[in-house]
Amino acid sequence: MNGPPPIEVVQLRKVFRQSTSGQLVVAIEQLDLHIASREVVAIVGQTGCGKSTFFDLMIGLEQPTAGSIVIGGKTPYGDFDHFRGQIATVFQQDRLLPWRSALDNVQLPLELMGVPDEERRDRSMAWLKRLGLESFAYAYPRELSGGMRQRVAIARAFVLQPSILLADEAFGHLDEVTAAELRETFLALARECGSTAILITHQLEEAIAVGDRIIVLGKSAKLLADIHVERWERSNYAVLREAIQSTLQSNVQDLRLVPG
Question: What pLDDT score does 245 carry?
Answer: 82
Q: Work out the widest C-alpha separation in the chain, in whole angstroms.
A: 55
User: Is residue 14 assigned to a domain?
Assistant: no
Question: What pLDDT score does 4 carry?
Answer: 83
Question: What pLDDT score does 253 carry?
Answer: 61
Rounded to the nearest 5 percent, the helix, strand and coil shares of the chain are: 40, 25, 35
Whether 214 contacts 200, CB under 8 Å: no
The identity of residue 180, as a single letter, is: A
User: Is residue 28 assigned to a domain?
Assistant: no
User: Is residue 227 assigned to a domain?
Assistant: yes
Asked whether the whole model's pTM tops 0.85, one would answer yes
User: Is residue 205 assigned to a domain?
Assistant: yes
Whether 76 contacts 56, CB under 8 Å: no
pLDDT in tens, 75-118: 998 898 888 889 998 887 888 999 999 999 999 999 988 999 99
User: Is residue 65 assigned to a domain?
Assistant: no
CATH number, position 47: 3.40.50.300
User: Is residue 15 assigned to a domain?
Assistant: no
pLDDT in tens, 213-240: 999 988 888 888 888 887 776 567 778 8
> Which residues span the domain enclosing 120?
39-60+77-250
User: Is residue 27 assigned to a domain?
Assistant: no
User: Is residue 19 assigned to a domain?
Assistant: no
How many domains, in total, are found in the chain?
A: 1
